[in-house]
Amino acid sequence: MTETTASPAPSASEARPGPFREFWFYFRENRGAVMGLWVFAVFVICAAFSPWLSPYDPTEQFREHILKPPAWQEGGDWAFPLGTDPLGRDMLSRLISGARYSFIVGVVVVSVAASGGIIIGLLSGFAPKWADSLVMRVMDIILAFPSLLLALVLVAILGPSLINAIIAIAIVFQPHYVRLTRASVLGELQKDYVTSARVAGASLPRLMFVTVLPNCLAPIIVQGALSFSTAILDAAALGFLGMGAQPPTPEWGTMLAEAREFILRAWWVVTFPGLAILVTVLAINLMGDGLRDALDPKLKRS
């Protein structure tokens, strides 16, 4: 066959892959990312259907089965596959229910931090220089604190609860989005298509949200995916320090904190929540790397 196939079919639905197909093509190349996606999918299913998936109520106490080891160990019972905790609650049920809290933390933190950060970043990218400098210095100050420390201070002010932990983590994460958005906006503003929109008479809001913002989204999506995992980690850390979710909420970090004193006697009460955090965070990070490879044109091999 020669290359000169007569002029292509005139339909708009030509063989050109849609943006999603193209994304999947690049994403699939990264095997770690695909594995991460599967683990993340399991995590999302656990979060969404935890009341139906978990064998028992996560707070129900079985007084005659305190600190039962996992089923495969001597003394284990298949009624409690991953054993029970010091109060006789089923570990598996608590882990599955914990997925829901972690997922909520991730989603809320990322959406609050990203939407706030995008708007502030966009405004400061378009603002006059003095306002831009002011915003960026404030962000630098927030970034100068170690993030967990700042979150701790905020929770100490607001009072310990899961909601306050989420608010604190969202505030701590905000500056990353602001800087990222502003940097992309400044890069895009130099380009002729923005001037072209100005010459066409585009209003400032239109210029910001219709012309510039869609071109800045790729790095923000990647940052969103990566900070999803950091948010889960920070929420777990706050929970571990007693500043996040309060018992008996089956939040993974809180579970770790409660089980600390049994670490030598009953390895499963600390290991499983820890593993759950590790696996989830790792999977999301792998997935985020794949997202970056697929969305960032600079890393794309074409």
Partner 1 sequence: MSTQTSTDPIVSARGLERFYEVKDGFLSKPKTVRALAGVDFDLYAGQTLAVVGESGCGKSTLARLVTMIEEPTAGSLSIDGKPVAPSDWASLRKSVQIVFQNPYGSLNPRQKIGTILMEPLVINRPDSTAVEREAKAREMLDLVGLRPEHFDRYPHMFSGGQRQRIAIARALMLDPKILVLDEPVSALDVSIQSQILNLLVDLQDRMGLAYLFISHDLSVVRHFCDEVIVMYLGRAVERASKDDLFAHPRHPYAKALLSTTPKADPEAKRERIQLEGELPSPMDNLPGCAFAPRCWLATEECRAQRPELQGETSQVACFHPL
Q: Does 198 bind partner 1 (CB under 8 A)?
A: yes
**Cis peptide before 248, with omega less than 30 degrees from 0?**
yes
Q: Does 184 bind partner 1 (CB under 8 A)?
A: no
Contact 122, 135 (CB under 8 A): no
Q: Does 200 bind partner 1 (CB under 8 A)?
A: yes
Q: Does 300 bind partner 1 (CB under 8 A)?
A: no
Q: Does 264 bind partner 1 (CB under 8 A)?
A: no
Binding residue (CB under 8 A) for partner 1 from 201, 204, 205, 264: 201
- The site map against partner 1 for 21-60 (x = CB under 8 A) is ----------------------------------------
Write down the least CB distance from residue 144 to partner 1, Å. Answer: 23
Residue among 298, 152, 135, 286 at smallest CA distance from 225? 286
**Binding to partner 1, residues 102-121 (CB under 8 A):** none
Contact 193, 211 (CB under 8 A): yes
Q: Does 16 bind partner 1 (CB under 8 A)?
A: yes
Binding residue (CB under 8 A) for partner 1 from 2, 4, 5, 11: 11
- Whichever of 34 and 218 has its CB closer to partner 1, that residue is 218
Q: How far apart are CA 286 and CA 282, in angstroms?
A: 6
- Whichever of 212 and 245 has its CB closer to partner 1, that residue is 212
Q: Does 214 bind partner 1 (CB under 8 A)?
A: yes
Tokens of 208: 């910001």
Residue range at the interface with partner 1 (CB under 8 A); choices 7-15, 28-36, 166-174, 255-263: 7-15
- Measured over the CA atoms of residue 280, residue 286, residue 289 and residue 290, the dihedral's sign is negative
- Whichever of 18 and 159 has its CB closer to partner 1, that residue is 18
Q: Which residue has the tokens 């927030």?
A: 142
Contacts of residue 182, defined as CB under 8 A and 6 or more positions apart, other chains included, come to 121, 122, 124, 125, 132, 136
Binding residue (CB under 8 A) for partner 1 from 87, 202, 208, 279: 202
Q: Does 61 bind partner 1 (CB under 8 A)?
A: no
Binding residue (CB under 8 A) for partner 1 from 3, 64, 74, 192: 192
Q: How far apart are CA 25 and CA 146, in angstroms?
A: 38
Q: How far apart are CA 59 and CA 44, in angstroms?
A: 21
Residue range at the interface with partner 1 (CB under 8 A); choices 47-55, 198-206, 223-231, 259-267: 198-206
Q: Does 191 bind partner 1 (CB under 8 A)?
A: yes
Binding residue (CB under 8 A) for partner 1 from 59, 215, 271, 293: 215
Q: How far apart are CA 41 and CA 37, in angstroms?
A: 6
Binding residue (CB under 8 A) for partner 1 from 28, 31, 206, 300: 206
Write down the least CB distance from residue 215 to partner 1, Å. Answer: 6
Q: Return residues touching partner 1 (CB under 8 A).
A: 10-12, 14, 16, 191-193, 195-203, 206, 211, 214-215
